[in-house]
Each structure stands twice: as structure tokens, then as C-alpha cells.
A and B are shown apart, each in its own frame.
Chain A
Amino acid sequence: MKRYALAALIIVLSLLVLLPFLWIFSTSLKPLSEVNQYPPEWFSPNMSLKPYADMFFFMPFGIYALNSTIVASSATIITLFVGSLGAFAFSRFQFAGKRVFLLVFLLSQMLPGASVIIPLFQLLKEIGLYDTHVGLILVHSAVLLPFVIWLLYGFFQGIPREVEDAALIDGCSRLSALRRVILPLALPGIGATALFAFLGSWNEFFFALILTSSDATKTIPVGIGLFVGEYNDLWNQMAASAVLFSLPPLMLFALMRKTFVKGLAAGAVK
């Protein structure tokens, strides 16, 4: 009996938690006349995918999606590469200043975006990277890096030293031990970290908002964020863009939830 009560509670809570999405999803399928209707209804016979087609008229969603994909994938690759070198140094070497460096990375994770945005904006303008993919990719990579190092450090620590020592005895160099032994063993962890980095960049709004200005570089969250301010009454089209934008993170997360949660916990609870 208690089991059923708990199950019921879990289901009710799921509905409550997902209420905003369910409502957005319902809105995204309704014609505008029914969106602006009182009392509001969850379902309507006139539901269709039309808002998904119409929204392209107000927002070049395809271009934004391409920009988001370019920026998020590049930032993921860069942070994983740079981050795994750094995490390898932290987990396998003793060196002077190690603690200080770890602190620097820990601290930069708490960096207020607002405290660096103005100089970054000026710098990117000066070197011609303002409003470019490359500029945003570099900034996203740098912002994501501390947490990526932290996560990877946790995973590398979890790989027994003996495995690596065996590789060294067999004649591997330190770096080829990283490439041939540690990286393959840490693969699930690296997958989780890649997911984190991708989501972080894909969803990032503040830097993207201020460091881009033209449609050729704006990412989806910038498009939606500005759209929400400007076309306040086209709720069904805004909802449609929000749904489309949320699909890739949801699918990735559904695929990799287990490793991701495990990695996060390993990195933080330790």
C-alpha cells in the first residue's frame, strides 16, 4: 500500500515539475487565436505544427541552430582537449604550485560573468573577434574549462595507478600512456564531461548575448531571449522555438544520464 502511495506522489510531483514544459508544448501547437483565449485550454482540435513553420518568419532559426551547433561542438572539443591535459597533470604529477593552480581553477569557476564581460567585449572588438564564431567559441571554452578540469580530474583519479605503471614499464611514454591507457579507461567519464560542456555552451546566454550582434553569429538562446522581449504576443511561435531548442539537450541527457550523474557526483561529493 505504501508503495502505491509513494508511486502516486512521484507521479503527481512529475506533473508539477514538468508543468511549464507541458504548458509550453501545448501552446506551441495552438493557433494564435486560441493562445490568446480565456479560459485557457490544454487541448484543442485545431492543434497543428503550423507555429513551428511560422516562427521562421520572425527568427532565422535555422541559421541560429547552425551557429549554436558550431559554437557548442567546437567549445566541447577544445575544452576536452585542453582540460584533459590539465587534469592529467593534476592527477599524475607532483609539482610546485599544484595547490595554487587548483585553487585558481576552483575560483575561476565562480567567476561572475558580469565582472569580465566589459573587458572581453573590448578585447574581442580590438582583435576583430567580436561577433564571430571564433570569439564566442574561445570565451565559452574558457568559461567551461574549470568545471571540465574538475570533472576529468575526478575521473582520472578513479583509474588505478598500476594500470598506467604497467604501460610505462612496457615502454610507453607518459603522454602515450595518457592516450592509450587512461583516456580509453576514462571514456565514460569523458563522455559525461563532453555532455556537460556541450550543454553548457548550447544553453549559454549571457556571453552570447553581449558578444554577438548579427544573425550570422547569434545562437538560439540569444534569438529566443530577444524574441521574448520584442514579439511579446506571439506566444505560440516563441513556445515552438523553445521546444525545438530544448530537444537536443533532452535527447543527449536521456542517452547519457547515468554516466553524467555519476560523474557529477564523483567530482563534487568526493
Chain B
Amino acid sequence: MKFGVVVFPGTWSDRDCGWVVDQVLGAELTYLWHRDTDLKGCDCVILPGGFAYGDYLRTGAIARFAPVMEQIGEFADRGGLVWGICNGFQVLCEAGLLPGALIRNASLEFRCEWTNLLVERTDLPFTSQCAERDVIRVPIAHGEGSYFADPATLSRLEQRGQVVFRYCGSDGRVVPGANPNGSLHNIAGIVNARGNVLGMMPHPERCSEAELGGTDGLKLFRSVADNALKVLVS
């Protein structure tokens, strides 16, 4: 099982994702440079958090044009696992690999804090280690993480069960008070229809060791490690 962590100029969760993959999970790790035109045989590509190319324009708007993105698009089309976290989610939306967009938080402020997520899909290679309707604690750190999509897209997502994570209270109830950024339907993470491209605003790589406040994030990394081999890469 080989993870590839993408590094754009301005990316900063690359080292944290790499740390968890390499030091905590013990899986094989390689970094993919934004100019790379080859994914070095990775089974799962992680697009980590940060401010790719500074994100001065619109989050992810420039990163989608990076040479490595073309390969990632093809990889996703072949069924390869692509996992966008925070800025990576924004990039995947800009690249059209996931529907919708991430807009400024309703508070208009950056937010770094712990959130509770209701896990609504456990049949995915990213979440198979979670219990049914599991509530996991994962921190967020973003200024533009409010999930937005037009009504048709939103209802399609809901009908097809593409919402994977929803902000909720510690009791699992999806209530407005648990929504840290104004995301529609409390959406924290979604998957594409095929189930191989996941985007999420919260940072599982920041809660994969007890000393950092929680280990729920490791469930996701373990899921990928255990399941990647079962996914057919055609």
C-alpha cells in the first residue's frame, strides 16, 4: 500500500499527512511534486491542506492547473483512491472531481477547533473502519470551508448518499449549532458517485495520535490501508 502526498507551493499539511502515513500507520510514502507528471505507482493520492499557490485568487483555482492534477484526474477516472483534505477538498472541487464549492465561513473568520462528525457511509474504502453512524472527533482549520452547491446538485448528493461526513453534536445529532462554518446540510465531506474520490474539510492527520487530542483520524487512514488493495484499479 503506497500513499502519495501532493506538494504544491504553499501546501503545509504534506508533512503532517506524511508523518501519519509513515510514522503512525507504517505504510509506504512518497511525495508528489506539483510538477510531477507521474504518480510513482501510488495506490492512494492525498491532496493535503495549505494555501496552494497562496490561494490569493480563489482556493484551489490555480492548483487545478498544476501538471500533477492531470495525472490525478486520470487516476481517479481509473478508480484510483484520491483523498482531498481541507485545501485538497477545495482543489478537487475546482478541478471538477467533486461537485460544489467551498466558500468563506459564515463567520467570515478562520476557525481552528475540534468538531464532531457523523459518519454516514461506512462502505467506502476511506471509512470502512468506522462503526455505522459513528461520531468521530476531528479538528478543522480553515477560512473557506463552507460547503455550497446548487439545490439540484445538493439533492442529487443526498439521494445518492454521497455525503460522508456531517458536522454534528457529540451525541450525533445534526444541528445548526454544531455547524462551524455555515456549510449547507452541515456537510463536512463528500465522495464522488463511484466512491473513490473523497473530499473533507476536517483534518484527520491532526488526530491520529492520542497526544494530539484524539485518534479518530487514524480510523480513516487504516480504512484506506486495509481496503485499497480490494479496490479494482482498472
Are A and B part of the same complex?
no
